[in-house]
Amino acid sequence: MTYMHKNGFFHRDMKPENIMCNGIELVKIADFGLAREVRSRPPFTDYVSTRWYRAPEILLRSTNYNSPIDLWALGCIMAELYMLRPLFPGTSELDQIFKILTIMGTPTQEEWSEGYRLAAAMNFRFQQCQD
């Protein structure tokens, strides 16, 4: 992923099915159908990636995002490999947000003002969860 990001692209559809492994030393990323250049100008579509690996800002319908969404997805994939089950197996976008909040805790307005702005735009209120 570092190679891809350093060369100016982000994937937008990271999921286990798009990671190919050949032994412990060779890992390749597949399916660049949703990939974009890092220097591309937003707005981007708010549908990217499989729901379970989708970053919170995209769940809140942001159209202004970049390569960190790939890192979120990779973190979800790594947790899934460790636990042998998905970390956030949401059944809908709202359920996905609630599953993330339940595990990560609810961010404060000061911690994530952009998230609160996005939530307000879609009439969503963060459920208060302790991390």
For the question of residue 13 being annotated catalytic, the response is: yes
DSSP conformation letters of the chain: -HHHHHTTEE-S---GGGEEEETTTEEEE---TT-EETTPPSP--S--S-GGG--HHHHTT-S---THHHHHHHHHHHHHHHHTS-S---SSHHHHHHHHHHHH-PPPTTT-HHHHHHHHHTT--------
Active-site residue, selected from the candidate residues 13, 31, 46, 70: 13
Provide the annotated active-site residues: 13
